[in-house]
């Protein structure tokens, strides 16, 4: 049975431009299927900053791929996801300070929707949002990966090679988009490509 791998906004924006094709890609022995939902697309369209920094997002190649491979939900699934989303948002509100510590941002509407999707479908949710990872810890049936974990699995499946991983890291650095988790993974998860971390 194929397992959906649901991409959040930042993961999509970090990888989709360079890993081609992306949405709808099936990989690995499980197998996994990369998926996106309209809630992610809407998040970009509602943000002037994201639209400005990612002008390629609405290019025909990317827009057509997302449209053709977009996840469809039944009426019953939508109702279940909305109910689960409400529980997750309420959980965040009960202890907002916990989700804002260590530079995290509290999961919002779209974040909780994606995590709720992961409960209902089920699916793996890929996000670099540490607040979402913190929230998922409280609900054992929500599985989350960091973006670099997805990239490592794509490498194992021979979807990406060392040169492309270097390109992705160079783009993250050039765009000021390097998170601490990606930085840490550079010399641990991708040690064979980048070598060990430089000594302090």
pLDDT tens across 29-66, in order? 989 999 998 888 999 999 999 999 999 999 999 999 99
Q: What is the pLDDT of residue 103?
A: 65
Q: What is the pLDDT of residue 102?
A: 66
Residue 122: is it exposed, middle or buried by C-beta count within 10 angstroms (0-12/13-18/19+)? middle
Mean per-residue pLDDT over the chain, rounded = 92
Render pLDDT for 141-161 as a digit per residue (tens, 0 to 9).
899 999 999 999 999 999 999
Residue 49: is it exposed, middle or buried by C-beta count within 10 angstroms (0-12/13-18/19+)? exposed
135 contacts: CB under 8 Å, gap ≥ 6: 88, 91, 92, 99, 107, 111, 112, 115, 142
Render pLDDT for 76-122 as a digit per residue (tens, 0 to 9).
999 999 999 999 999 999 988 887 776 667 898 999 999 999 999 87
Residue 23 has pLDDT above 80, yes or no: yes
Residue 200 has pLDDT above 60, yes or no: no
Residue 199 has pLDDT above 80, yes or no: no
Residue 190 has pLDDT above 60, yes or no: yes
Which position has the higher pLDDT, 200 or 103? 103
**Cα separation, 6 vs 101, whole angstroms:** 26
Q: What is the pLDDT of residue 141?
A: 87
Q: Give residue limits of the domains in the chain.
A: 3-148
Q: Which residue has the tokens 């601490």?
A: 180
Phi, psi angle pair for 163, to nearest 5° = -60, -40
Architecture of the domain spanning 3-148? 3-Layer(aba) Sandwich (3.40)
Determine the average pLDDT of the residues in 165-172. 96
Phi, psi angle pair for 109, to nearest 5° = -55, -55
């Amino acid at each position: 049975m194929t397992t959906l791998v649901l991409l959040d906004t930042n993961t999509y924006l970090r990888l989709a431009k360079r890993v081609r094709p992306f949405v709808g890609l099936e990989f690995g022995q499980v197998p996994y299927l990369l998926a996106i939902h309209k809630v992610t697309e809407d998040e970009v369209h509602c943000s002037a900053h994201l639209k400005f920094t990612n002008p390629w997002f609405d290019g025909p190649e990317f827009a057509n791929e997302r449209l053709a491979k977009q996840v469809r939900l039944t009426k019953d699934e939508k109702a279940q996801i909305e109910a689960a989303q409400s529980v997750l948002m309420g959980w965040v509100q009960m202890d907002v300070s916990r989700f804002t510590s260590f530079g995290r941002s509290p999961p919002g509407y779209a974040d909780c929707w994606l995590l709720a999707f992961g409960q209902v479908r089920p699916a793996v949710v890929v996000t670099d949002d540490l607040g979402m990872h913190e929230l998922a810890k409280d609900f054992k049936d929500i599985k989350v990966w960091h973006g670099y974990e997805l990239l490592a699995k794509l490498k194992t499946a021979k979807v990406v090679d060392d040169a492309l991983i270097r390109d992705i890291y160079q783009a993250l650095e050039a765009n000021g988009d390097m998170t601490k988790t990606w930085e840490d993974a550079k010399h641990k998860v991708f040690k064979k490509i980048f070598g060990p971390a430089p000594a302090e």
